[in-house]
Chain A
């Protein structure tokens, strides 16, 4: 199976709740990136976390990286209906090759 596998596949929450998505990978990485995709459109870059970093914040987004467990999580706090989208993690190896998982589909109900 490919790197950058997201979990869960689908997540449905109420507005105001927090949403947590996870990403697992198999080999050593240079960095890991999280993206959002609205239906049928291109991916929008959210956060990049380097292999020597453990946590990064950007607004309501918080990303953690555990290289010993080869996993990352994306937390969206105080979710809004506009956060409804698919979220992907992209893993970039030291050779510069990027792979993405199938994504987590997040639905935020108003």
Chain B
């Protein structure tokens, strides 16, 4: 059974640009959550999508957005990049039932210069 796949693994962008990250969940999983991990802030919840609808949202500015497609694949977009957006972005998939655990991908390392 394939795991959670995140692409790309590494990304370097310039301030002001925008970026799109992709996450393919485990087959059959309908929930995809996104997290930002930085040394200073730890693991911060961005948002969760379930069946193409945003179900939960963290405390991030509107520059951070996401969507989920009918095949449960999810994309996260960050516009007008800032240096502080440099982080490891992790996505996690689950069946959507809170009783079950999450499976995380290996993450996308974004560096903003």
Which A residues contact B (CB, under 8 angstroms)?
30-31, 33, 35, 40-45, 48, 50, 88, 90, 92-103
Contacts and interface: CB of A to CB of B under 8 A. Distances in A.
Contacts of B43: 88, 100-103
Contact of A98 (B45, B88, B107, B109): B45
Contacts of A43: 90, 92, 102, 104
Nearest to A97: B56
Interface string B49-80: 01000011000000000000000000000000
A70 B80 CA distance: 39
Interface of B: 4, 6, 31, 33, 35, 41-43, 45, 48, 50, 55-56, 88, 90, 92, 96, 98-107, 109
Given A97-B45, A100-B35, A103-B43, A90 B105 contact: no
Contacts of B4: 42
Given A50-B99, A90-B102, 16 more contacts: A30-B98, A31-B98, A35-B104, A40-B107, A40-B109, A42-B4, A42-B105, A45-B102, A48-B100, A93-B98, A96-B50, A96-B55, A96-B98, A97-B56, A98-B56, A100-B45
Given A100-B42, A100-B43, A42 B100 contact: no
B23 to A, nearest CB: 11
B106 A42 contact: yes
27 contacts: A31-B99, A33-B102, A35-B104, A40-B107, A40-B109, A41-B107, A42-B4, A42-B90, A42-B104, A42-B105, A42-B106, A43-B102, A45-B103, A45-B104, A48-B100, A48-B101, A90-B102, A92-B98, A93-B98, A94-B98, A97-B48, A100-B35, A100-B43, A100-B45, A102-B41, A102-B42, A103-B43
